[in-house]
Amino acid sequence: MTRIGIHDLAVATTHHVVELDDLAEAAGVDPAKYRLGLGQERMSFPAPDDDVVTIGAAAAAPILERHGADGIRTVLFATESGVDQSKSGGVFVHRLLGLPPTVRTVELKQACYGGTAALQTALGIVARDPRERVLVISSDIARYELDSPGEPTQGAAAVAMLVSADPDILEIEPIAGVNTTDVDDFWRPTDSTTAIVDGALSLDAYLHSVTGAWDDYRAQGGPDVDEIHRFVYHQPFTKMARKAHAHLAAHTGVELPVETLETSFRYNRVLGNSYTASLFVGLAAVLDHEDDLAGTRIGLFSYGSGSVSEIITGIVQDGYREHSRRDETAAALAARVRLPLDDYRALHAATTTSSADVETPHVTTRPYRFAGVRGRARHYEPTTTPATAERETVEPASADR
Ligand code: CAA
């Protein structure tokens, strides 16, 4: 049987970053609540000319530089924070990357689960024709209302993955455990730039989904919990993964040390929630920071509110370290520009669902930018014009190193 899986993956994020210590101070909250209680230190935040298209294209560009576009006949763009009700964000990315017209491009949505749906779709396409390679892009900007409990769990990132036969990094195994449960824990009406969330219910729904998907995974013949070397969870905030792992341990009756999750937190702690990308950001962190994973099985738990969840597993390939993008990811994190809290609040408040014509100011230093709206249509371009914003390189947080 052909081995199919993740051949390459790359992480990108926005121009700005907000320090959660600044947010805590302004809110009169003990900073330890965010650092320890939620397990978060920073959150990426978009400049006016960043969005899910620009960071998605930035994640995908280095994959095309390394592998070329041969065999790519499908682009799957997964997002909760799409930029149009009709047109796929992937079509904008397709043009920015100069992909040939002989490509099918589509956007997938189911809250934070969409990236896993895209990965499964890609695996199916390659299984049908192993000559094909599929570009999967998960890209999100997580927004909650200012001064709401969800505010410190905002964030932004994109992960692009090339799915192919004979993958260099992670062979995805065929068995999956899935669960759909209709629940109003988190959703975002079409007229709202921020999510509506019932925090306590969302935690319960997430944990319910862990056991639901796990039981199905075992019923489908998936290996037992002690045959999975590392777990990586969707991370709305990193503490949630600890809760999930403890929940799975209690459910299975097997001791599962939470310390084994630590490396999967390294990027998410400083990026914040990135919805569809979050799970794959966690996977990238593990592959970038652990040297001895070749031949081991990694379990991936995906949760999308509303809710759909899935557990899949993958076998780490020999030589996976040679393909790491650790240095590029570290550079992208360190190059973010710290946003003072007043500016963050002003930018957040200015976010709109309006499609009125506008020229967007040049701010982002990322490779692509949202140029503005003309004739109610969005326009994107490479960032050739120097950014006007003064850069203030952020010292790496403990978790960045
Ligand atoms: N020092 C250390 N820890 C502290 C502390 C302090 N001074 N003060 C509080 N804490 C701890 C609390 O004990 C708590 O820890 P435990 O859960 O382990 O008990 C933690 O900090 C959070 O405190 P609260 O429960 O009081 O926090 P809150 O009510 O203000 O908000 C939240 C927490 C509900 C998660 C909120 O941030 C939220 O609504 N976030 C968005 C929703 C979300 O992320 N849900 C997750 C599941 S849904 C999902 O996964 C999909 C998705 O991506 C959105």
Residues 25 and 158 in one domain: yes
346 in the same domain as 314: no
Q: Beta strand 297-304 with 230-233: parallel, antiparallel or unpaired?
A: parallel
- The whole-angstrom separation of Cα 76 and Cα 125 is 11
End-of-domain residue from the set 258, 285, 319: 319
Q: pLDDT, tens digit, for every residue of 240-264?
A: 999 999 999 999 999 999 999 999 9
User: In terms of domains, do 56 and 110 share one?
Assistant: yes
Q: What is the rounded average pLDDT for all residues in the chain? A: 95
Please give the distance, rounded to the nearest whole angstrom, from the Cα atom of residue 365 to the centre of ligand 1: 32
Binding residues for (3S)-3-hydroxy-3-methylglutaryl-CoA are 30, 144, 243, 273
The yes-or-no answer on residue 379 being catalytic is no
Pocket of ligand 1 (CB under 6 A): 30, 32-33, 36-38, 112, 149-150, 153, 185-186, 197, 199, 202-203, 206, 234, 236-237, 239-240, 273, 275, 303, 305
Place of tokens 């290996």: 223
The predicted-structure confidence for 116-157, as pLDDT tens digits, reads as follows: 999 999 999 999 999 999 999 999 999 999 999 999 999 999
- The residues pairing with 186 across neighbouring beta strands, listed in sequence order, are 197
Nearest CA to ligand 1 atom 35: 199
* CATH number reported for the structural domain that contains residue 211 in this entry: 3.40.47.10
| Per-residue model confidence as pLDDT tens digits over 6-40 | 999 999 999 999 999 999 999 999 999 999 999 99
**How many other C-beta atoms lie within 10 A of the C-beta of residue 331?**
10
Shared-domain flag, residues 276 and 343:
no
Other beta carbons within 10 Å of 251:
15
CA–centroid distance, 37 to ligand 1, in Å, is 7
Q: Active site includes 25?
A: no
pLDDT in tens, 46-70: 999 999 999 999 999 999 999 999 9
For residue 112, indicate whether it is catalytic.
yes
Region 80-99: mean pLDDT is 98
Please say which residue of 272, 289, 319 terminates a domain: 319
Residue 389 — very low, low, confident or very high, per pLDDT cuts 50/70/90? very low
Final residue in a domain of this structure, among 298, 319, 340? 319
Backbone angles phi, psi at 344, to 5 degrees: -60, -45
Same domain, yes or no: 17 and 41: yes
Is residue 80 located within the same domain as residue 224? no
Give the tokens for residue 280: 């794959």
Q: Is 137 helix (H, G, I), strand (E, B) or coil?
A: strand
Considering the domain architecture, whether residues 334 and 195 belong to the same structural domain is answered as no
In a shared domain, residues 81 and 126 = yes
Q: Residue 384: its pLDDT value, please?
A: 81
Q: Specify whether 251 is located in the same domain as 387.
A: no
Comparing CA positions, the residue from 157, 213, 161, 179 lying closest to residue 12 is 157
Q: Please indicate whether residue 398 or residue 276 has the higher confidence score (pLDDT).
A: 276
Give pLDDT tens digits for 311-332. 999 999 999 999 999 999 999 9
Domain of 311 in residue numbering reads as: 173-319
How many structural domains are present in the chain? 2
Distance 224 CA to ligand 1 centre (A): 30
Cα-flanking dihedrals φ and ψ of residue 18, to 5°?
-110, 130
Give the residue, by CA position, lying nearest to ligand 1 atom 9. 33
75 and 220 in a common domain? no
- Encoded amino acid at 30, one letter: D
CA pseudo-torsion sign 234, 238, 240, 245: positive
- What's the whole-number mean pLDDT along residues 202-222? 98
A 10 A CB-CB count for 89 gives 27
Task: Break the chain down into helix, strand, coil percent, rounded to 5.
Answer: 35, 25, 35
Question: Encoding tokens for residue 345?
Answer: 């609040």
Q: Residue 205 CA to chain centroid, in angstroms?
A: 20
Whether 54 and 114 map to the same domain: the answer is yes
**Is the same domain home to 180 and 166?**
no
* Run of H or E including 374: strand 368-374
For the beta carbon of residue 128, count every other beta carbon within 10 angstroms.
8
Global confidence as pTM: 0.96
Task: For residue 140, give the amino acid letter.
Answer: D
Torsions phi, psi for 91 (to 5 deg): -70, -40
